[in-house]
Amino acid sequence: MSRDRATLIFGAAVVTAGLAAGLFFGYACTVVPALGDLDDRTFVEVMDKINDAVYNPVFFAVLLGAPVLIAVAAVQQRRGENPDVARWTWAALALYVAGLIVTMAVNVPLTDDLVAAQPRNVSEFAAVRENFEDPFNAWNIVRTILHTAAVACLAVIPRRAAQDTGGTRTPRR
């Protein structure tokens, strides 16, 4: 594979992983505080709408495309002459996948339970919120940290690659 194509794939991996980490970070820093001020009924209704909005092809392309791109980049780097760089990419992939596991094992079931609850009165809305809000937010922070750590691993790769080649670029063949 050409160096330009490998660079493009690596860049796409960084961007998609960064977008996913940014989404979870942005949610934690902006949406959570705003939702915290709402009454129980409005909280549940807004979370239901947020969940509907999240399920879209662009979101899934980014969320699920990132680990594919990271894996392709890792394979390309492993084939190269720089195993240290490949280790950083594999670490990024492991962290990103760990974040996906948190999402699929914890956050998605919590949102599914919220949507399925169908509360009808004030006490039911309060109970649905109680079962959802704190666990969802805590695990959102965990997945935010995992995805951000994956991006951090990817971010050091250009520097590591430059150090390993003495800061010079290998001429094209």
Query: Which range, of 47-56, 81-90, 92-101, averages the lowest pLDDT?
Result: 81-90
pLDDT computed for residue 2 by the predictor: 73
User: Do residues 22 and 148 lie in contact, with contact meaning Cβ atoms separated by under 8 Å?
Assistant: no
Reply yes or no on whether the pLDDT at 170 is more than 50: no
Reply yes or no on whether the pLDDT at 167 is more than 70: no
User: Do residues 61 and 70 lie in contact, with contact meaning Cβ atoms separated by under 8 Å?
Assistant: no
pTM: 0.89
Using one digit for the tens of pLDDT, what is the confidence trace for 101-155? Answer: 999 999 999 999 999 998 999 999 999 999 999 999 999 999 999 999 999 999 9
Reply yes or no on whether the pLDDT at 1 is more than 70: no
